[in-house]
Amino acid sequence: MQTALGRQVSSGGRFTWTGLAAMIVSAPLVGLTFARVGEVVQSYLAPSSLVPVLMGVFIGLTIVAITRFGRFGHRSTIFSATVAAAVVAAVGYETALGGTGAVGATGSASACLDATLAKPVAPLAKPVAPPAKPVAPNESTYQFPLGRPLQIDAFFALLAAAAAVMVTIPAVRVPYCDRCGSWFRTIRNGKIDLPTSRRLAELLDVDRPDRVRSPRYRLSACQGDCGPTRCELSWERSGGGVDLARVWLDDKQRSEVVAILDELNLNECEAASGRNNAKPQAADPLIPNP
Ligand SMILES: [Zn+2]
């Protein structure tokens, strides 16, 4: 369930040539850096497809950090840069392993992929004649049927790109304010009680079932505080599942929501201090009786 009272804030930022240039420079650098990191990590790990996935995760995190630091919010460019960095990393990683002779010879990631990608090869009926030309030192390139190294590169690139995009998606789903050039950030969030969630739902015209559990709220705004505020209300339905409602608040609605939340905090503070005062004071054992 999703409710929106206004769509004044675009979910992503505008395209800028500066942002594109930054991404064109950053993506290959990030990719090559993590190709090298992956190569080092691979030397400590058993052969697995985990390394491309980990590379993808960290590439995604790095690209997100760059967009946050550079205040860049154009989603398509961010996704393109993420995929490009992951592909560069996967190809660079595979090339580095191949170049060091790690592929095939030491049971590296490519050798591991033999088990998953290659079909069993039938034994040859006739003995194979020795090759007329000497075999190149990088024998791994030649031990696969035609197209195998390309498949491995594509498989690694796919793994890394998928992991990187999975990390990037939640980060770029956050709204972006083009006016001050900043991503929205949480300014206030927490649990609320059932009466407060009912009041907020009524105020914001959100459909709320009668029986819910664990209601929560989150307010987010851009750093310049120049646009509307986003309010998220969520709760668990009694029959299972979670509802999330997103509502854009103007200044008046924001003040009303904040007033309700402040009132809740005040009530909770009073209740807590009341409980403390009600506790019987224990006699201090260190004070001697007269
Ligand atoms: Zn702003």
pLDDT band (50, 70, 90) for residue 150: low
| Rounded Cα–Cα distance for residues 78 and 74 (Å) | 6
Distance between Cα 178 and ligand 1 center (Å): 6
How large is the average pLDDT for residues 126-148?
45
- Average model confidence (pLDDT) for the chain? 78
% residues pLDDT > 90 (the chain): 38
Contact status, residue 53 vs residue 163, Cβ threshold 8 Å: yes
pLDDT digits (tens, 9 = 90+) for 204-234: 999 888 888 999 999 999 988 887 999 999 9
Q: Any idea where the domains of the chain sit in the sequence?
A: 17-120+142-177, 184-277
Distance between Cα 72 and ligand 1 center (Å): 13
Mean pLDDT check: name the lowest of 43-47, 48-52, 63-67, 159-163: 43-47
Distance between Cα 84 and ligand 1 center (Å): 29
Distance between Cα 221 and ligand 1 center (Å): 8
Distance between Cα 220 and ligand 1 center (Å): 11
Of the ranges 17-21, 48-52, 102-106, 140-144, the best mean pLDDT one: 17-21
Whether the full predicted model's pTM is greater than 0.75, yes or no, is no
Phi/psi at 82 (nearest 5 deg)? -65, -45
| Rounded Cα–Cα distance for residues 71 and 151 (Å) | 37
Residue 166 identity (one-letter amino acid): M
Distance between Cα 226 and ligand 1 center (Å): 4
Fold of 184-277: Nuclear Transport Factor 2; Chain: A, (3.10.450)
Distance between Cα 22 and ligand 1 center (Å): 21
Position with higher pLDDT, 259 vs 144 = 259
